[in-house]
Amino acid sequence: MPQNRMTDRDRDVEGRAQNQRPRDAYGRPLPHGSPQGAPVIPEDAEYTPAEGLARAQELLDEGYAFTAHEVLEAVWKSAASTERELWQGLAQVAVGLTHVQRQNLTGAVRLLRRGAQRVAAFADEVGGPVPHGVATADVAAYALHLADEVEAGRRTTVDPAQLRLRADN
């Protein structure tokens, strides 16, 4: 008898899905009881923009693009409404890297382009400071270049450490 995907997932007391299973280095769920392959970001994690950028960069430098995405998503959820598109774009770029790592190249191209577009909108703002020192133009250019390389079949792997989120690191 097939398992019901809705009842097969870990849930909190309100019935919301929870990610209780350990994950591999690329964020894919492992069987319960497996050793954890990637750092864990609690679902209720909260980061200031500075903390989130620093932690996400550490994770990218260690090769954990999926976990970096979770940190950036946590910032996005609590960011000022005027900055949510930026954080969503950064998270999408990190997920794009994850898709390259997982060899989902079509998904990678799609998310890298979508994320780059969101981040680039903040690079195009004239006369205003870039929020939190994010290297918006560089991140967008990197994501678009990687998307082009993957789409053309010239790249099938990625080193997440090549993505630099801040201009000063």
pLDDT in tens, 116-130: 999 999 986 655 667
Average pLDDT over residues 60-89: 95
Residue 106 · residue 114 · CB < 8 Å: no
Residue 91 has pLDDT above 90, yes or no: yes
What's phi and psi for 17, nearest 5 deg?
-65, 140
Question: Can you read off the two tokens belonging to residue 51?
Answer: 């903390």
Q: Are 127 and 144 in contact (CB under 8 A)?
A: no
The pTM of the full predicted model, rounded to 2 decimals, is: 0.85
In the chain the domains, ranked by start, together with CATH numbers, are 49-162 (1.10.3450)
Confidence bin at 169 (pLDDT 50/70/90): low
pLDDT digits over 20-48, tens only? Answer: 778 888 888 888 888 877 888 888 899 99
* pLDDT tens profile 132-142: 999 999 999 99
Residue predicted with more confidence, 10 or 80: 80
Confidence of residue 5 (pLDDT cuts 50, 70, 90): very low
